[in-house]
Amino acid sequence: MDKEKELQDELTWNVGYRMNESLRMIKICLDKLPEDKIWQKPNESSNSIGNLILHLCGNITQYGIASIKNEEDNRKRDEEFSTASGYTKEELFKKLSETVEEAKRTFYEAPLQELLRKRSVQGFNFSGVGNIIHVTEHLSYHTGQIALWTKLLENTDLGFYDGVDLNVKNQ
């Protein structure tokens, strides 16, 4: 295997791992919440968990799928935040999971030149690698918001790492 392909595989594996971790954490949050809390907002300046999930789907599709595949950008960003109902938590999680899976496939199948090509998305200029990093960190960022809002709503530990000793030192 050539070094470029090996590096691409390492990048896409690690990105996929991080995206799967975010999905796992979001699923834990959704499982702890009753349906009526999914669209609840902490205040008018904030978003519901439902809005955040729709926003993640839009962002991942725009940056991670359409941009890298050179497809038309059909995102309707304002709708991600103005929607106040219409999806159950199961439907939201399915939509997010399918979007993440398509993005991971896109990252893995993209030719190296597509990962290196600069492109403009939302007025920002990044390579495909830059877009992949953006998708990963953006998903993680909003996963943290979903976790915090879940903790505030339910006053419970989420147990993301139950059974894992996080005090193990580096070797």
What pLDDT tens digit does each residue of the chain (171 aa) get? 698 889 899 999 999 999 999 999 999 999 999 999 999 999 999 999 999 999 999 999 999 999 999 999 999 999 999 999 999 999 999 999 999 999 999 999 999 999 999 999 999 999 999 999 999 999 999 999 999 999 999 999 999 999 999 999 999
Q: Are 76 and 58 in contact (CB under 8 A)?
A: yes
What is d(CA 112, CA 147) in angstroms, rounded to the nearest whole number? 35
- What is the value of pTM for the model shown? 0.95
Domain 3-154 CATH superfamily: dinb family like domain (1.20.120.450)
CB atoms within 10 A of CB 39: 18
Question: What letter does residue 120 receive in the DSSP assignment?
Answer: E
| Structure tokens that stand for 169 in this block | 């030192």
Instruction: Show me where the domains of the chain are located.
Output: 3-154
Strand pairing partners for 126?
Answer: 119
